[in-house]
Amino acid sequence: MTPDLDLKQYLERQRLIVEKSLEAALPENEGPEARVVEAMRYSLFAGGKRLRPILCLAAAEAVGGEIAAAMPAACALEMIHTYSLIHDDLPAMDDDDLRRGKPTSHVVFGEAIAILAGDGLLTEAFVLLSDYHTLLPERALKLIGVIGRAASYRGMVGGQVVDMLSQNKPADLETVQQMHSRKTAALISAAAESGALAGGGTDDQVEALARYGRAIGLAFQIADDILDIEGHTEVLGKTAGSDVARGKVTYPAAVGLEGSREAARKQVDHALAALERFDHKADPLRALASYIITRKK
């Protein structure tokens, strides 16, 4: 699967499978908590690319597993990703009004419900994982640890803190890398690692796919920084140039545009190298690695 068209079809097919499972994992609700479930669903179904779930399913297939076995992990990853977007967009954080071309949660539901919708999605991810009946319990527990650590202060929460505290400061490469590896690469790496775990991968395979995930996670974030400068608002669905306007520490600010492109390509090479011992079942992962730095949004 190398031609570009195939990848597009593959992504669309997988995305639809993920949509269906997410819908089942968080159905509409009519209880007293209806309003917060509505807010959780508003953001969860706001048109995300489902990159993390798709990676997770592809990693399960790469080790010879079934995608059904990886689906709870895939849905949990998307819930955690969505919670982080809701909280990052809050007035006290990035104060973003627009996300994927739609008004952000706090604009629609108010700040209190937006905070709670994020809390609810983060919690729901673990509720879903605790119901992991298609895996051996010890593997399910390990998987919860992998995803939990990626979301924790060691990963996403820590990355957002570095992001907040480094604004309007000189962009040194170390800070950018600390931020990217925690804020974005941690969960993308966990997506590949948890997929490999759910698919029944060996320790070596799980480790290789975690390495693959980390590399494409870094490439993804560098590409995001570049898109923020080169992209157009209508394609991105968020305001282009907003990183610069906010004094954000970015890869291009630290090493320039050409240096950033070079760094992203290097990470894609690392990612492909991590897949060396895998057969054709890892082809979607190979195609995804290249897609990540050529996408337009």
Residues that bind a second copy (CB under 8 A): 29, 31-33, 35-37, 40, 83, 87, 90, 92-93, 110-113, 115-116, 118-120, 122-124, 126-127, 129-132, 136-138, 140-142, 144-145, 148-149, 151-154, 157-158, 160-162, 164-165, 175, 178-179, 182
CB of 34 to a second copy, least distance (A): 9
Q: Residue 126 or residue 257: which is nearer to a second copy going by CB? A: 126
Q: Residue 3 or residue 32: which is nearer to a second copy going by CB? A: 32
The span from the CA of 125 to the CA of 72, in Å, is 9
Instruction: Give the 3-state secondary structure of residue 232.
Output: coil
CA distances from 31 to 83, 95, 206 (A): 21, 30, 41
Contact 221, 185 (CB under 8 A): yes
- Dihedral angle sign, alpha carbons of residues 103, 109, 110, 111: negative
**Angle at CA of residue 42, ends 36 and 47, nearest 5°:** 155
CB of 113 to a second copy, least distance (A): 7
Q: Residue 144 or residue 206: which is nearer to a second copy going by CB? A: 144
Q: Residue 214 or residue 286: which is nearer to a second copy going by CB? A: 214
Q: Residue 109 or residue 220: which is nearer to a second copy going by CB? A: 109
CB of 143 to a second copy, least distance (A): 8
Any idea what DSSP says for residue 167?
T
Distance of CA 152 to the CA centre of its chain: 14
Q: Residue 46 or residue 114: which is nearer to a second copy going by CB? A: 114
CB of 142 to a second copy, least distance (A): 7
Please count the residues of the chain: 297
| Residue closest to 260 by CA, chosen among 288, 227, 228, 223 | 223
Joined tokens for residue 79: 């819930």
CB of 72 to a second copy, least distance (A): 12
CB of 131 to a second copy, least distance (A): 6
**Angle at CA of residue 59, ends 6 and 235, nearest 5°:** 50
Any idea what DSSP says for residue 282?
G
Block residue for tokens 């949004």: 297
Q: Residue 175 or residue 239: which is nearer to a second copy going by CB? A: 175
CB of 276 to a second copy, least distance (A): 30
CA distances from 246 to 32, 45, 159, 163 (A): 39, 28, 17, 11
CB of 160 to a second copy, least distance (A): 6
Q: Residue 141 or residue 272: which is nearer to a second copy going by CB? A: 141
Distance of CA 32 to the CA centre of its chain: 31
Joined tokens for residue 249: 């520490």
